[in-house]
């Protein structure tokens, strides 16, 4: 994960904001890392479907009756931003896997068609050769 986390603390308003950013390619990078799986560069729209939003925000507000604690506010704000990040990561990963499976199915179908065409060609060609060798067989 290559995201950057920034915090904005406002003691007067008793709030902490956590911003997770630079995360658009995290799901793609994570799934491609250490495997031979990659998004085909000519696959139109695939990268956009597998990208995550680039920014997630979590806000923690201290209630008037509670005691202000910046550390706790940072933890709560981060947890809220990270929850949004994780949901987006799962969605992007699901899209990536779905598209990879779809491409594999299309490749298998094309390969099956090639095999069938090759078999048909060789059968027809063999029939032509047999006819040339021994025309009386017909």
> Given strand 55-61, what is the order of strands in its sheet?
4-10, 15-21, 55-61
Please report the pLDDT score of residue 95 as a whole number: 84
The encoded tokens of residue 69 equal: 């604690």
The CA–CA distances, whole Å, from 60 to 9, 10, 20, 40 equal 10, 11, 14, 41
CA-CA distance, 85 to 20, in Å (whole number)? 8
Please report the pLDDT score of residue 40 as a whole number: 60
Please report the pLDDT score of residue 1 as a whole number: 65
Question: What is the residue extent of each domain of the chain?
Answer: 4-107
CA-CA distance, 60 to 16, in Å (whole number)? 5
Please report the pLDDT score of residue 39 as a whole number: 61
Decide if pLDDT at 138 tops 70.
no
The per-residue DSSP string of 26-73 comes to HHHHHHHTTSS----TTSTTHHHHHPPPSEEEEEEE--TTSPP-HHHH
How much is the mean pLDDT over the chain? Answer: 85
Please report the pLDDT score of residue 117 as a whole number: 86
Please report the pLDDT score of residue 98 as a whole number: 84
pLDDT tens-digit readout, 72-118: 999 999 999 999 999 998 988 888 888 878 878 888 888 888 988 88
Give 88 or 130, the one with higher predicted confidence: 88
């Amino acid at each position: 994960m290559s995201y950057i986390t920034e915090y904005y603390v406002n003691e007067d308003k008793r709030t902490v904001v956590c911003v997770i950013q630079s995360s658009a390619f995290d799901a793609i990078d994570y799934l491609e890392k250490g495997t031979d799986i990659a998004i085909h560069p000519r696959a139109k729209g695939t990268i956009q479907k597998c990208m995550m939003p680039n920014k997630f925000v979590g806000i923690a507000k201290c209630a008037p009756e509670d005691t202000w604690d910046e550390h706790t506010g940072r933890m709560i704000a981060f947890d809220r931003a990270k929850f949004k990040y994780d949901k987006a990561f799962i969605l992007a990963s699901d899209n990536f896997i779905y598209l990879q499976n779809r491409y594999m199915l299309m490749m298998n179908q094309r390969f099956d068609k090639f095999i069938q065409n090759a078999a048909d060609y060789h059968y027809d060609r063999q029939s032509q050769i047999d006819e040339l060798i021994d025309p009386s067989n017909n």
